[in-house]
Structure 1
Amino acid sequence: MAWNEPGGGRDRDPWGGKNGGDGPPDLDEALRKLKERFGGLFGGSGSGGGKGVSGALVGVVIGVVLAVWALMGFYQIDAKEQAVVLRLGKFQEVKGPGLQWNPPIIDSVTKVLVTEEREYRSKGLMLTQDESIVSVPLTVQYNIKESKDFVLNVKDPEVSLRHATESAIRHVVGSTTTSDVLSEGRSAMADETRSRLQKYLDTYQTGMYITQVNILEAEPPTQVKAAFDDVISAKENKDQYKNQAEAYSNEVIPKARGTAQRLIQEATAYRDRVIAEAEGQAQRFEKLLVEYQKAPEVTRQRLYIDTVQEVMGNSTKVMVDVEGGNNMLYLPLDRLVDAQPKPKINTSEGSVLDNPEILNLIDQVVQQRLREQSSSNRRGGR
């Protein structure tokens, strides 16, 4: 039977109190009982022995809580790390390696690896200066220079690094020709990219330091790779022909220079020789002039004899003609020279006519011819 049915009785009322009256329970009574119960737990009303035990227990609990709280504040910072300390959300300090302590809950500590070399990789299609599309892969190596800036100034430093890297490499590739991107220009591009990227990161105050940027071997898109290979092959052929031409030039030019130098030296020697001969002839003439002024006839006769000697020394046949005669005497000097023992001929010492025997023979022939001519003239006079 339900409590509210007729005849159920007063005892079935759930709201019945001690007084047995109708209506809701006494809230003041309930609150009083709850207060007494908690008061006894924390040393409130109760018997004297219970009060002492409760106070000691509370002290022990509080001491344990404080000890645990203090122990939670100790932490170790490695030699490669730095710790950024925030107190109630505000920057407090940066701590170095070693055993450190900060009050838990009040301070928050963020550890940062500052000496660790980190790496970021990127690859994308980019437009070059000559409007060609190339795929440029690169790696960025960096570390943390300022741990405070790395933790506080940028929400996500890795995202900022990615955006700055893409901006820097696209700017550099956009001002570089395709041939330089695909071949020997990558080193200069890497240096320029690193400088520009570090400038961006310093502007953002990310606390990161770029140690090195490596631009790997770029390649054209697969759709035009064959055409790019042909261009690279042609460039290699051009370099090969250029090297061959330079080698030929290095071989020919020194020879030509040596020949030119030799000709110059020969011309200089010829000039010096001619000048020396001319000066010698001039000095000889001056000395001869002095002798001629002293004895003109003897000097004239000597010059004539020397001239005849020089002319006859270069001839193998001599024709002797006497004035007023009809016959001409022929002297075969070549046969006369062959019949005699061949003397040593030296133009510096004299000619063949310096031989006394030959001169004696010539003199006899000339005297005989003169006598015959004289006899012929006497007969004609009679």
Structure 2
Amino acid sequence: MAWNEPGNNGGQDKDPWGNNNRGGRDQGPPDLDEVFGKLSRKLSGLFGGKGPSFGGSGAAGLGAIAVVGLVIWGVSGFYTIGEAERGVVLRFGEYERIVQPGLNWKPNFIDEVRTVNVEAIRSLRGSGQMLTKDENMVNVEMDVQYRVANPEKYLFSVTNADDSLRQATDSALRAVIGDAEMDEILTTGRQQIRERTQVEINRIIDRYDMGLLVVDVNFDAARPPEQVKDAFDDAIAAREDEERFIREAEAYRNDILPKATGRAERLKKEALGYKEKIVNEAEGDVAQFDKLLPEYEAAPEVTRNRLYLETMEQVYGNTSKVLIDSQEGGGNLLYLPLDKLMSQSSQPRSTEDTTASDYGIELESTQTVAPSNSNSRQSTSRQGRY
């Protein structure tokens, strides 16, 4: 039976506080001095009998408990901040300071520390079906990479900085897409759209002071709706072919133009050289004529003969065949092939007798036509065979 049930002798002898209750006399809770005395004896036992003895004093017991609690409280206040983290200290719920990486201490129940990773690159994807400037629908996907730049603003400037950035990305992307045409989004304007979206996101972040820094914005994909996808694919293929043809034409132009320019420059230089040559020769002929004119005026016949002889010398000096006019006799013309004579002169003959036929000399007779006037001189026509 329980101690408090009737008929239990043990219940008559003891009460819940461990006091004897003989004779029906009720004794109340134990004295506080006795409780602290027992606690002091237990603490002394824990320290091997060498610990402090409170000797039954209530104030001394409270002091010991306070000292032990203070030691535990002080030790529990040490904490460590990681290398990539920053600690935001709150004192009674209000921002106090930023704690750098390393071992730190805080007073428990007074300060609270929230750690924020400021070096990790976070990723946020934004996508949706959006309306373009030319009233077409396009499916756009974009990836935003960012990190925390200011832990205090990241935690307290807005309710949820990550969610706020998601909404800012969607708003900026819709604003940029709504100001661009469909062809620009799908083909040539992707880089410009990416840059404009990043600028717009940074503007929203600065306005709301989110404490974030956008590292990069990637424009992943832009597709037309499935209903018109085939037509847009054909249009894109045609544009790609156009760009390819343009590049090939530019390459051909870059190959042909330098060659044509070089040939033109060469022809110009050759023409200038020919011009200078002709002009110099003409000036030389004029100077020679100026020198020859006084001589011709002094002795015309002698000058003409000298000029004739010099001209014949130049003409026959460039040919290997010579014609000899006998002037007297039966009107025969001698033909001397000097090239054959020179080649045969290098080979010795067995006999010293040579004839005109041995040297390839050909004699051709011509008829003499008598003039009607017997007093005039006979004219003879002579012709050489080449």
Q: Please give the TM-score of this superposition, normalised by the length of structure 1.
A: 0.65
1:55, CA displacement in angstroms?
Answer: 5.4
Structure 2 residues not aligned, in runs of 5+ = 1-26, 36-54, 324-329, 341-362, 377-386
Aligned to 1:134: 138
Kindly indicate whether the alpha-carbon contact (under 8 Å) linking 1:42 and 1:58 is maintained by their aligned counterparts in 2: no
What corresponds to 1:89 in structure 2? Answer: 93
Answering whether residue 288 of structure 2 is matched by residue 290 of structure 1, we say no
What is the aligned partner in structure 1 of residue 213 from structure 2? 209
Residue equivalent to 2:232 = 228
State the partner residue of 2:128. Answer: 124
User: In structure 1, what residue type is equivalent to 2:232?
Assistant: F
Instruction: Map 1:13-52 onto structure 2 (within 5 A).
Output: 40-41=31-32, 52=56
Output the amino acid matched with 1:224: V
How much has 1:194 moved relative to structure 2? 2.1
CA contact (8 A) 2:88 2:99 kept: yes
**Partner residue, 1:322:** none
Query: What is the distance in 1 between the residues matched to 2:249 and 2:301?
Result: 73
Give CA-to-partner distance per residue, 1:167-191, whole Å, 9 cap, x none.
2222333333433432453333323
Cα RMSD of the aligned pairs, angstroms, is 4.1
Alignment correspondent of 2:172: 168
In structure 1, C-alpha distance between the alignment counterparts of 2:373 and 2:105, rounded to whole Å = 156
Report if the CA contact (8 A) 2:33-2:57 is conserved: no
- Conserved? CA contact 1:128–1:176, under 8 Å: yes
Aligned pair in 2 of structure 1 residues 307, 54: CA closer, same or farther (>3 Å)?
Answer: closer
Task: Pick closer, same or farther for the CA change 1:343–1:281 going to 2, 3 Å.
Answer: farther
For 1:279 and 1:106, locate their aligned partners in 2 and report how far apart those are by CA, in whole Å: 112
**Given the alignment of the two structures, is residue 148 of structure 1 paired with residue 141 of structure 2, yes or no?**
no
Does the CA-based 8 Å contact 1:43-1:55 persist in structure 2?
no
Cα separation, partners in 2 of 1:293 and 1:61, compared to 1, 3 Å: same
The aligned residue for residue 376 of structure 1 is 374
260, 263, 270: which one aligns with 2:264: 260
What residue identity is the alignment partner of 1:377? N
Paired letter, 2:375:
N
Q: Note if contact 1:124-1:136 (Cα within 8 Å) is conserved in structure 2.
A: yes
Paired with 2:208 and 2:242, the residues of 1 have a C-alpha distance of 46
CA distance in 1, matches of 2:255, 2:186: 33
Q: Secondary structure at the match of 2:223?
A: coil
* 1:219 alignment partner, one of 220, 223, 226: 223
Q: 1:304 to 1:96 in 2, by over 3 A?
A: closer
Work out whether residues 134 and 218 of structure 1, in 8 Å CA contact, stay in contact via their aligned partners in 2.
yes
Residues 321-368 of structure 1, C-alpha deviations (whole Å, 9 max, x = no match) = xxxxxxxxx9786xx43xx22469xxxxxxxxxxxxxxxx9xxx9xx9
Paired AA for residue 190 in structure 2: R
Report the residue type matching 1:271 in the other structure: K
Further displaced range: 131-140 or 148-157:
131-140
Identity of aligned residues (%): 39
Q: What SS does the aligned partner of 1:298 have?
A: helix
Task: Note if contact 1:82-1:112 (Cα within 8 Å) is conserved in structure 2.
Answer: yes
User: What is the CA distance between 1:124 and its match in structure 2?
Assistant: 1.2
From 266, 274, 281, the counterpart of 1:277: 281
Shift, 1:40, TM fit: 4.2
1:218 positional shift: 1.9
Cα distance, 1:195 vs structure 2: 2.7
Q: Which has the higher helix share?
A: 1
Count of aligned residue pairs for this structure pair: 299
**1:236–1:42 CA distance, 2 compared to 1 (3 A):** farther
Q: Give the TM-score normalised by structure 2.
A: 0.65
2:201 paired residue number: 197
The alignment status of 1:104 with 2:108, answered yes or no, reads: yes
